[in-house]
Amino acid sequence: FLTVYSLSGSRGCRSLSRPLGRRQGMPWTGRQERTLIAVKPDGVQRRLVGQIIQRFEQRGFKLVGLKMVQASHGILSEHYGELRTKPFFQSLLTYMSSGPVVVMVWEGHNVVQASRKMVGQTNPAEAPAGTIRGDFSVHVSRNVVHASDSQEGAQKEIQLWFPAKDLLDWDCCDQIYTIEV
């Protein structure tokens, strides 16, 4: 579905006559990695949604799914299943279900590892300035954002939060300038 543009040509982003969404024609086999990012209830309450989205956009990643939900304990228990035995598990569920979260799927080269770096350490006290947690949070229990920690984890989380039909395959018009295609 990737249209091959000529760098010296004049089509580029101006070929807007094509419909948005999945393309007809030659398949492009290099589908990029995806990860689940969520702005947690503290991030939404503190009006950080725009700034967090902006960081992923400006890095060059592509948004392929987005929704705002107030999450149930059911979905959160599954999402944080590995932490079930931790002493903070119940308070984590209470915090995460206390208000809306903005859940997103971002796509791009090496997006899982890159977004963990952009988000910073779990404990904001250890997260360097320049990371999302290092810039916007101070306490481990209110660290404003979630990011999948591995490709396998990302796949599970994406399936948990999004039906496949709600994720869009689309060609971002700058992708020949952000990745080698």
| Residue 122 binding target from ligand IDP, Mg ion, none, CB below 5 to 8 Å by type | ligand IDP
Q: Long-range contact list for 28-31, CB < 8 A, 24+ apart? A: 28/1, 28/2, 28/181, 30/181
x/- mask, Mg ion, residues 144-163, rule CB under 5 A, reads -----x--------------
| Residue 88 binding target from ligand IDP, Mg ion, none, CB below 5 to 8 Å by type | ligand IDP
C-alpha span between 168 and 104 (Å, rounded): 12
The distance of closest approach from Cβ of residue 149 to Mg ion in the complex, given in angstroms and rounded to an integer, is: 5
Q: Binding-site residue total for ligand IDP (CB under 6 A)?
A: 9
Distance of CA 90 to the CA centre of its chain: 25
The distance of closest approach from Cβ of residue 122 to ligand IDP in the complex, given in angstroms and rounded to an integer, is: 3
C-alpha span between 154 and 37 (Å, rounded): 9
Which three-class secondary structure state does DSSP give residue 129?
strand
Binding-site residue set for ATP: 40, 88, 116, 122, 133, 143
